[in-house]
Homo-oligomer: A and B are copies of this chain.
């Protein structure tokens, strides 16, 4: 039975971190909410029609038979062992989950660069505040988070150029997506930092060239970045 992924149609958003794991592993899955009936089904889950254990707070969530798992890091924890996208030992799994939760925090901060005041209002209603937040984000937060991940990649005793051990894990796929997203949203800021983060940049290239990921990126399953997702390109929020 294929996995069912539920996520808002039309955007990469947080769903993309799950798609990359499914695609890399060659797992069978249905991106359910990309059809109107699937979108309807997704809303029924959110409303609680499928009972206590299957009422996620928000997409993305994954359905695997009778199990519903919500939140990106939780889904990747679930899929990691099933798809061999995380080392087998328990300690490495907690390490991977901790790194993934750092990605989660960073992604929330990326979102808030264009929505610093209210998620329920339009970007256009909070532009001056967005500029202030994006400025602090580029100045303080990108170096803090990417600097951390760079140290993790550099410090891996396996010297594999991956985050954990000697093989690719779901954390690496998420770091690829972070680098892609930042390059889309803040091209001038990322170009200005082009000499920084060599390990992250190498990892992003390595991931992009993996056969299943390369095929996915060329397919129409990979939605383009746009101004509805998490990573948005508003030139006025980027470095001048």
Residues of A bordering B, CB below 8 Å = 48, 51-53, 55-57, 67, 69-71, 73-74, 77-78, 91, 94-95, 97-98, 101-102, 104-105, 108, 112, 116-121, 129, 132-133, 136, 140-141, 145, 148, 151-152, 155-157
Of all chain B residues, the one with the shortest Cβ separation from A126 is B132
From B52, B94, B151, B155, give the contact of A78 (CB < 8 A).
Answer: B94
Copy number of this protein in the oligomer? 2
For residue A67, give the distance in angstroms from its CB to the closest CB of chain B.
6
For residue A214, give the distance in angstroms from its CB to the closest CB of chain B.
29
Main secondary structure of the interface of A (DSSP, over half): helix
Q: Which residues of B contact A145 (CB under 8 A)?
A: 57
Of all chain B residues, the one with the shortest Cβ separation from A73 is B101
Asked if B52 and A157 make an inter-chain contact with CB atoms under 8 angstroms apart, the answer reads yes
A101–B104 alpha-carbon span in the complex (Å): 10
Asked if B52 and A74 make an inter-chain contact with CB atoms under 8 angstroms apart, the answer reads no
From B74, B101, B118, give the contact of A98 (CB < 8 A).
Answer: B74
Of all chain B residues, the one with the shortest Cβ separation from A155 is B52
From B56, B97, B152, give the contact of A71 (CB < 8 A).
Answer: B97
A57–B106 alpha-carbon span in the complex (Å): 11
For residue A197, give the distance in angstroms from its CB to the closest CB of chain B.
16
Query: Which 3 pairs from chain A and chain B are nearest by CB?
Result: A118-B136, A52-B155, A71-B101
